[in-house]
């Protein structure tokens, strides 16, 4: 939709590419849009601003940020950097990290920034002597950490961009004049900061085109507000509304299932998708015993589809609500030799060696970057211990300097550091000064080679071990990516490279050429599509998630939209799976089938149940699934079970944990499982077949 509209205004309205700003939600989508527009108009679209909201903010601040005190060489902190800085802020404020964790503080600060609340605004809203008051103190200290490091976090790219337009009139007017047309994808996922950017940029010419689907608004936990799209016509009363109900991806049976679920949301714009592909495979509901059987069922069906219909592995995807659900699929797929790619696991840019090399490059641009300094000052080892780094950081704060700047200015009066540490720190500071100078003069690939050689990093990895070989391969992969910037003059090539790396998301790192099943969460899969989709874990507490159940109707509505997103990823085949028993936080629990399954008419589903399982009518109880399945979950087929050895209340012994009392005994297909409270070691869970246990007394 947006691609063709962009091509249309260029071809018919005499609009130049550099007068257009187009915003998407992933770099992957931006690359695809750019390629499609160029294909349609048969010409270059150089000069068009096309990217994510965050890349738009980063570009604005790199160019214009000095108007509000942001240096052009600022560093963008990723999630790990942000948590490190917040941890420092918590310590600086003397707050107990166990009572208020860095992740909790980070979430609260992120939510505030997405609502356009800076530290001062946030503090003005808190009640004295509350947890929020402590978060406000941490917020102030965290901002001081960022300022000292000349760094911005991900949320700042939006907050500061809005601040820039509010405070710098000439900057705002320039970009309002420049962009004759503004295009926004996935508008239902915008938060308050993104909403403000759209309103400001589109205020003068009012040529604003937004595309979105309120039924796919699933990022409320990130601050997205579905009201932005529902109220668009109020903000722009002269707007023309076009409803796009024809679907070109899925078959009609899949779309009917999607509508059966989403129509139960009250706050939505009425629409019903249809397709010319009216005939298709029925949607299948697979009922399994536990998560292991769920993974086995999916693996078997994928193998059948490959053999029977010629489906490729890359056409298949397993979707789930939480990352933890991937474990069972990974184990089964590895055992059965089914290749897969896990989206949201350890990303390439999260690997230690990649982060180390990037930290060196970041220091070349921004010597005030304290997080990068701490990462590489003793990597490879330079006889600079943690105690010396702590003393240097203390000295730096005292002098009002960044750690690297303090290392460059060490003198004999700095008694806290010994002669050896001072010499090593001076040597490192001189090394970084040389590399920073090189960064201003040589292309990025040449700079990267010098960093690897002069820091000793190449020598450290090329140690002859297999681990070293694998880690060096990752560094070479990074060098290949840096090579794409060889024609960009220094230091712009380095700055652009670091900015693009910082803005990469999990979905952007997906490799289209990989021949493997995709394992991905329902949140991450939005915007993607697959020939065959399995939605796992359709159970109360998972989908809808337990947190949503506590939030009432609004939480349930968002989980229903998330289910709708998952269903509509499928092109030809869709499988819905639920288990009767699932391990939650390590403990086996009975599971209720999701209420969303109860909203689907029985004639729309082809049901595959295990022998002895309840019928679909039992699963559906007045539109909401209840405990009709409990009888099955607690009484599996007895011919599959070994005899029960232990009972509740029995005293038992264990070779490692000593004596304890059986709290619960459950019979499973794999044998007996026990929940035991040990006298000296708390509660543990065991599969009897895998543990050495013996009875001491009967209950």
Q: What pLDDT band is residue 123 in, cutting at 50, 70 and 90?
A: very high
CB 593 within 8 A of CB 578: yes
Higher pLDDT, 514 or 217: 217
pLDDT of 676 over the 50 cut:
yes
Question: Residue 620: its pLDDT value, please?
Answer: 47
Q: Out of 80-84, 145-149, 473-477, 631-635, pick the least confident.
A: 631-635
pLDDT of 624 over the 70 cut:
no
Residues facing 665 on adjacent strands: 674
Average pLDDT over residues 56-76: 93
Question: Residue 159: its pLDDT value, please?
Answer: 96
SS3 347: coil
Residue with tokens 């997405």: 114
Write a three-state SS string for 220-237.
HHHCCCCHHHHCHHHHCC
Question: Residue 481: its pLDDT value, please?
Answer: 82
Q: What pLDDT band is residue 680 in, cutting at 50, 70 and 90?
A: confident
Per residue in 344-371, pLDDT (tens digit) is 755 677 789 999 999 999 999 999 999 9
Average pLDDT over residues 54-73: 93
Higher pLDDT, 563 or 678: 563
Question: Residue 379: its pLDDT value, please?
Answer: 94
CB 497 within 8 A of CB 294: no
Give residue 136's Cα distance to chain centre.
25
The rounded distance, in Å, linking the Cα atoms of 186 and 210 is 8
Question: Residue 512: its pLDDT value, please?
Answer: 58
Residue with tokens 């707050």: 95
Q: List the Cα angle 195/199/201 in 5-degree steps.
A: 115
Question: Residue 683: its pLDDT value, please?
Answer: 67
Cβ neighbours of residue 447 closer than 8 Å, sequence gap 6 or more: 361, 364, 435, 438, 439, 490, 494
User: With pLDDT > 90 as the criterion, what percentage of the chain qualifies?
Assistant: 51
Average pLDDT over residues 18-40: 89
CB 157 within 8 A of CB 76: yes
Question: Going from the N-terminus, what domains does the chain have, and what CATH number goes with each?
Answer: 2-67+158-235 (3.40.50.300), 75-149 (1.10.10.160), 252-345+512-623 (3.40.50.300), 348-502 (1.10.486.10), 639-697 (2.30.30.60)
Question: Residue 633: its pLDDT value, please?
Answer: 29
Edge-to-edge strand list for the sheet holding 283-288: 340-342, 517-521, 316-320, 530-535, 570-579, 283-288, 605-608
Q: Out of 26-35, 200-209, 598-607, pick the least confident.
A: 26-35
Q: Phi/psi of residue 481, each to 5°?
A: -65, -40
Question: Residue 657: its pLDDT value, please?
Answer: 76
CB 193 within 8 A of CB 162: yes
Higher pLDDT, 676 or 369: 369
Residue with tokens 């720190």: 425
Higher pLDDT, 505 or 355: 355
Per residue in 437-491, pLDDT (tens digit) is 999 999 999 999 999 999 999 999 988 777 788 788 888 888 888 888 989 999 9
pLDDT of 201 over the 50 cut:
yes
Question: Residue 195: its pLDDT value, please?
Answer: 92
Q: What pLDDT band is residue 42 in, cutting at 50, 70 and 90?
A: confident
Across all residues in the chain, what is the average pLDDT?
Answer: 86
Per residue in 286-309, pLDDT (tens digit) is 999 889 899 999 999 999 999 888
Per residue in 255-290, pLDDT (tens digit) is 999 999 999 998 888 889 999 988 899 999 999 988
Rounded to 10 degrees, the C-alpha dihedral 101/102/107/109 comes to 120
The rounded distance, in Å, linking the Cα atoms of 347 and 342 is 9
pLDDT of 202 over the 80 cut:
yes
Q: What pLDDT band is residue 70 in, cutting at 50, 70 and 90?
A: very high
Average pLDDT over residues 146-157: 94
User: With pLDDT > 70 as the criterion, what percentage of the chain qualifies?
Assistant: 90
Q: pTM of whole model > 0.85?
A: no
Higher pLDDT, 230 or 506: 230
pLDDT of 675 over the 90 cut:
no
Half-sphere exposure of 341 (CA within 13 A, CB side): 18
Per residue in 626-661, pLDDT (tens digit) is 322 222 222 233 333 346 778 888 888 887 778 888
Question: Residue 630: its pLDDT value, please?
Answer: 27
Average pLDDT over residues 141-170: 95
Q: What pLDDT band is residue 688 in, cutting at 50, 70 and 90?
A: confident
Question: Residue 636: its pLDDT value, please?
Answer: 33
Question: Residue 238: its pLDDT value, please?
Answer: 87
Question: Residue 53: its pLDDT value, please?
Answer: 93
- As a residue count, the chain comes to 699
pLDDT of 46 over the 90 cut:
no
Question: Residue 356: its pLDDT value, please?
Answer: 95
Higher pLDDT, 645 or 542: 542
pLDDT of 614 over the 50 cut:
no
Q: What pLDDT band is residue 334 in, cutting at 50, 70 and 90?
A: confident
Q: Name the token pair of 523.
A: 């949140």
Q: Out of 145-154, 273-282, 554-563, 603-612, pick the least confident.
A: 603-612
Question: Residue 266: its pLDDT value, please?
Answer: 84
């Amino acid at each position: 939709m947006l691609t063709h509209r962009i091509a249309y205004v260029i071809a018919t309205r005499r609009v130049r590419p550099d007068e257009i700003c187009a915003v998407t939600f992933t770099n992957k989508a931006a690359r695809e849009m750019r390629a499609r527009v160029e294909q349609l108009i048969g010409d270059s679209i150089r000069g068009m601003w096309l990217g994510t909201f965050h890349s738009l903010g980063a570009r604005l601040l790199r160019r214009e940020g000095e108007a509000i005190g942001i240096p052009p060489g600022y560093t963008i902190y990723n999630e790990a950097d942000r948590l490190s800085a917040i941890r420092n802020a918590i310590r600086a404020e003397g707050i107990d990290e166990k009572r208020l964790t860095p992740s909790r503080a980070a979430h609260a600060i992120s939510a505030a920034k997405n609502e356009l609340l800076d530290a001062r605004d946030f503090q003005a809203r808190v009640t004295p002597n509350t947890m929020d008051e402590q978060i406000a103190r941490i917020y102030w200290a965290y901002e001081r950490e960022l300022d000292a490091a000349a760094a911005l976090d991900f949320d700042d790219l939006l907050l500061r961009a809005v601040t820039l337009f509010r405070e710098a009139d000439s900057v705002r007017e320039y970009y309002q004049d420049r962009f004759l047309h503004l295009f926004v994808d996935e508008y239902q996922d915008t938060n308050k900061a993104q909403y403000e950017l759209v309103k400001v940029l589109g205020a003068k010419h009012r040529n604003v085109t937004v595309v979105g689907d309120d039924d796919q608004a699933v990022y409320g936990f990130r601050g997205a507000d579905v009201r932005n799209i529902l109220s668009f016509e109020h903000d722009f009363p002269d707007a023309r509304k076009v409803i796009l109900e024809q679907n070109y991806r899925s078959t009609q049976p899949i779309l009917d299932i999607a509508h059966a679920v989403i129509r139960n949301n009250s706050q939505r714009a009425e629409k019903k998708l249809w397709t010319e592909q009216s005939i298709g495979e029925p949607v299948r509901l697979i009922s399994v015993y536990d998560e292991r059987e769920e993974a086995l069922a999916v693996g078997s069906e994928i193998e059948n589809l490959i053999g029977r219909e010629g489906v490729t592995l890359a056409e298949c995807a397993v979707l789930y609500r939480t990352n933890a659900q991937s474990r069972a699929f990974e184990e089964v797929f590895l055992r059965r030799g089914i290749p897969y790619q896990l989206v949201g696991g350890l990303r390439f840019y999260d690997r230690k060696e990649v982060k180390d090399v990037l930290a060196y490059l970041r220091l070349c641009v921004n010597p005030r970057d304290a997080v990068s300094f701490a990462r590489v000052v003793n990597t490879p080892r330079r006889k600079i211990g943690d105690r010396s780094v702590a003393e240097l950081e203390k000295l730096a704060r005292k002098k009002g300097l960044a750690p690297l700047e303090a290392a460059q200015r060490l003198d004999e009066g700095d008694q806290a550091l010994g002669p050896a540490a001072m010499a090593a720190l001076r040597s490192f500071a001189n090394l970084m000064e040389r590399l920073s100078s090189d960064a201003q003069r040589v292309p990025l690939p040449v700079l990267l080679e010098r960093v690897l050689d002069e820091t000793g990093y190449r020598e450290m990895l090329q140690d002859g071990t297999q681990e070293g070989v694998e880690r060096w391969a990752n560094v070479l992969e990074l060098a290949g990516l840096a090579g794409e910037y060889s024609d960009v003059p220094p230091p712009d090539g380095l700055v652009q490279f670091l900015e693009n790396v910082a803005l990469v998301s999990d979905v952007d790192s997906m490799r289209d050429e990989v021949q493997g099943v995709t394992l991905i969460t329902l949140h991450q899969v939005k915007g993607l599509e697959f020939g065959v989709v399995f939605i796992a874990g359709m159970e109360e507490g998972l989908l809808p998630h337990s947190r949503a159940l506590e939030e009432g109707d609004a939480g349930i509505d968002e989980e229903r939209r998330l289910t709708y997103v998952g269903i509509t990823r499928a092109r030809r085949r869709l499988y819905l799976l639920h288990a009767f028993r699932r391990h939650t936080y390590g403990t086996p629990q009975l599971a209720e089938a999701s209420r969303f399954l109860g909203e689907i008419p029985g004639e729309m589903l082809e049901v595959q149940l295990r022998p002895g399982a309840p019928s679909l009518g039992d699963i559906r109880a007045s539109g909401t699934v209840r405990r009709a399945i409990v009888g099955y979950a607690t009484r599996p087929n007895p011919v599959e079970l070994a005899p029960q050895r232990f009972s509740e209340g029995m005293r038992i012994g264990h070779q490692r944990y000593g004596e304890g009392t059986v709290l619960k005994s459950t019979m499973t297909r794999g044998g007996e499982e026990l929940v035991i409270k040990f006298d000296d070691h708390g509660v543990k869970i065991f599969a009897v077949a895998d543990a050495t246990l013996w009875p001491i007394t009967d209950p």
